[in-house]
Amino acid sequence: MKAISLTINGKRLAAAVEPRTHLADFLRETQGLTGTHLGCEHGICGACTLLVDGVPVRSCITYAVACDGAAVTTIEGLDDDEIAKELRQAFSREHALQCGYCTPGVLISARDVAVRTDRADEREIRIAMSGNLCRCTGYVGIIRAISSVIESRRMRGIAAIPDGGRRTIGPAGSGHAKTGNPSNVQRREAVTPRTPPPRGTAEPERGKGWLHRLFRR
């Protein structure tokens, strides 16, 4: 067992967990926070999405011990959240849910999109929400609901927050909420997109492994 300390929905908590315990299991089985749903348990369907240090995270593939020192927000922690309230109303209005199993994870991701997106562009929303699968709605109502919330907020003069307030790269949690990691910020600023060579210019050889040999035949 490993001792961890984290904040869950604004409340500080100390607990002992097995290193193999996933965050979703820890929240559901020991904290009674069953609003976090488990679907594929492989990090694909998005049903278990929640916020760790304000960043959407797949809790079925995130170890609880990795969140030592972090702030975790589940769907229950967004009861009084202004954006979540607007999204719930919009989801009801646009018939954006049916069975509701995927809805907690969808709402978490939708909130992140509403925070950081400048305009209610359908294509951008679809791309941003592509990690949350729904087998009932066909996504049309979901997209309309999110789009309406974004448009309403921007028309009221509420500006988007670039990157949703993210300040570091790397895994969410792991104490980022307490101290941050300036080296990560520096690393992000130092990374620049690779510029491809002009057409007709040979790429520099980077080694002669099996992939190189395969395409040189």
Nearest to 111 by CA among 143, 147, 87: 87
pLDDT surpasses 50 at 185: no
Range of the domain at 49: 2-78
Residue 216 lies in a domain: no
What are the beta bridge partners of residue 73? 51
pLDDT surpasses 50 at 25: yes
Say yes or no: 99 and 69 in one domain.
Answer: no
Amino acid at 201: T
Q: What is the pLDDT of residue 199?
A: 60
Unique residue bearing structure tokens 């510029």: 195
What pTM does this model have?
0.78
Least confident of 123-137, 153-167, 180-194: 180-194
CATH number of the domain enclosing 52: 3.10.20.30
DSSP 63: B
**Total domains present in the chain:** 2
Which of 163, 179, 203 is where one domain is finished? 163
